[in-house]
Amino acid sequence: MNFWERFESMDRRWVYLMVAITVVIPFIFPMKFPVSVSPEARSFFDAVDSLPDSSVVMLVFDYYPSTIAECEPMAIAGAHHLFRKHCKVVTLSNIPYGAPSMAESITRGIAAEYGKEYGKDFVNLGYKYGYVSVLKGMGVSIESIFPADNRGTPLSELPLMNYVKNYEQVDFIFEVADNATADFWISIVNAGYGVPMGVGCTAVMAPKFYAFLGAGQIVGLLGGMKGAAEYEILLDKKGTAFRGMDIQSLVHFLIIALVVIGNVGFFVKKRRNRKTKS
């Protein structure tokens, strides 16, 4: 059995071990590869940065805990940017599985850093079942869909929500998603009410959103951990996404190397079979 045959019949657990080692090494020895900024991330950042003070922005936590590694850095960077710019932030979620809790802990923690007050500078509406109904209904009245915030306080008792009645008072939507809810924000809220929005999504979802970006329905796109790292760089606040790029770089390289070696072996074997036949 030659090298190529041996490689092809290699136990998959060796591959798992290689991936594990590749993931662990950058944790011990951070490499800090320079990250360049894509035009999609820059246009997203610029759109948020050009909002006037006190603009109302909906920061939407539409992701499950399983994609925290990719989506949470986007939500954190977004919250920092919005509070730094003194925007009024309304958070909500169309995901029942822990997203309202994540929205609560992230926004309250970051808001405290900027001295923002709950009810006046930011509000967490929480979760309500049925995202199509929720997104459509908020166009008429947010209060009819969310009579109370995530903690059960009636919206009428929150000064910010006395001003924000429906999408007419919302200046921008910062959507962080790992599922199809982002499509509905675009098709219902952007198309129906004309609210500008940007989408941060997982890397596997990103190719789809280039269609919306090309059509001008979203102003910018953050694709996966790379997108989050780009936003962190633009914000000059490097976080977990920037650190994660070392790991992603090495794992991508490992996969490419495995694919290349696998294909070389495939062609060597094919050539030998042809020779044997002739």
* Span interacting with another protein, options 54-62, 79-87, 153-161, 263-271, rule CB under 8 A: 263-271
Quick one: three-class SS letters along the chain?
A: CCHHHHHHCCCHHHHHHHHHHHHHHHHHCCCCCCCCCCHHHHHHHHHHHCCCCCCEEEEEEECCHHHHHHHHHHHHHHHHHHHHCCCEEEEEECCCCCHHHHHHHHHHHHHHHCCCCECCCEEEEEECCCHHHHHHHCCCCHHHHCCECCCCCEHHHCHHHHHCCCHHHCCEEEEEECCCHHHHHHHHHHHHHCCCEEEEECCCCHHHHHHHHHCCCCCCEEEHHHHHHHHHHHHCCCCHHHHHHHHHHHHHHHHHHHHHHHHHHHHHHHHHHHHHHC
Residues linked to residue 92 through DSSP beta bridges, in sequence order? 60
Closer CB to another protein, 86 or 98, in the complex: 98
Q: Is 6 in the site for another protein (CB under 8 A)?
A: no
Question: What character string, x for contact with another protein (CB under 8 A) and - otherwise, covers 149-188?
Answer: --x-------------------------------------
Among 2, 50, 54, 144, binds another protein (CB under 8 A): 144
Closest CB to another protein among 50 and 144? 144
- Closest contact distance (angstroms) between CB of 85 and another protein is 26
In terms of CB distance, is 54 or 117 closer to another protein? 117
Tokens (6 digits) for 218: 């979203």
- Interactions with another protein, residue window 80-109 (CB under 8 A): 96, 98, 100-101, 104-105
The yes or no reply on residue 203 touching another protein (CB under 8 A) is: yes
Tell me the sheet residues that pair with 83: none
Among 220, 226, 235, 243, binds another protein (CB under 8 A): 226
For tokens 């090298």, name the residue. 3
Say which residue the tokens 């909906």 belong to: 58
Q: Which of 25, 35, 47, 268 binds another protein (CB under 8 A)?
A: 35
* CB nearer to another protein: pick between 84 and 183: 183
Decide if residue 136 touches another protein (CB under 8 A). yes
Nearer to another protein, 54 or 259 (CB): 259
Chain contacts with another protein (rule: CB under 8 A): 12, 15-16, 18-20, 23, 33-36, 38-39, 64-69, 96, 98, 100-101, 104-105, 128-130, 133-134, 136-137, 139-141, 144-145, 151, 203, 207-208, 210-211, 213-215, 223-224, 226, 245, 248-249, 251-256, 258-263, 266-267
